[in-house]
Chain A
């Protein structure tokens, strides 16, 4: 009994909070946490529209669900590689402040 707009506004708010986190934090791991929030807001959006579609068209559609599964997979892979990069940069420079990693040659 919840209107679709509530889900969309909730996911828009989560997206904007994640965007603020990405744009304004110094620590690289904190930037990755903002990216995770943004990905989750997109998945809520997707599943809300899937529910709306099934309810309005009365036909079961699988592609949003597969899309959501692939989003989970890609988020996990991207977090793993991103954190590996951060740890590797920390070993070389002893700093993970995003503003200090500004030289290309390691």
Chain B
């Protein structure tokens, strides 16, 4: 067991425990805070995959923006300050059984397939150059220019939609 493996196991354990607490805790605000912790764990896993850029982007986008948005929405849609009663609906047993069967299926396939047992070593050629190549690929007409532009149109549409849905414009009744 190398140091990196021990670190990965600790990060994975923290992330999975926080994710379980997200879906099982009673108070919705605590669930939002545990979500922040599990997203931070996922960012650290990206860092072990030599995608340091995506680790930082994960913290910036998910924790800085999306988690803040979720916390705002949680605070704005509560009737009282306390959450009482069970937070799971009637079919939670079936959902638990289904998820466990799915996970068992995944693990069986992944543990017996010999191609994915390869060790991921550190690639020396990557460090530092792939950000520039990513930028070049995003604006290359032979590369990924069209998905880039479509993503920006999608963001514009989401922006306009979110503002319209939550604005209090009183429409006249016909």
Contacts and interface: CB of A to CB of B under 8 A. Distances in A.
A and B touch in the complex (CB under 8 A): yes
Interface of A: 1-10, 12-14, 16-21, 23-27, 29-30, 32-34, 36-37, 40, 43-44, 47-48, 50-52, 54-56, 60, 62-63, 65-66, 68-70, 72-81, 83-88, 90, 94, 96, 98-99
B14 to A, nearest CB: 11
Contacts of A20: 23, 95-96, 99
B120 interface: yes
Contacts of B117: 3-5
6 contacts: A36-B66, A52-B120, A69-B138, A80-B158, A81-B158, A86-B77
Interface of B: 2, 4-5, 8, 12, 15-16, 19-20, 22-23, 28, 31-32, 35, 38-39, 42, 45-46, 48-51, 54, 57-58, 61-62, 65-66, 69-70, 72-74, 76-77, 79, 86-89, 91-92, 94-96, 98-100, 102-103, 106-107, 110-111, 113, 116-121, 123, 125-126, 129-130, 133-134, 137-138, 143-144, 147-148, 151, 154-155, 157-159, 161-162, 165-166
A2 B5 contact: yes
Given A3-B118, A4-B118, A48-B49, A24 B144 contact: no
B103 A8 contact: no
A37 B19 contact: yes
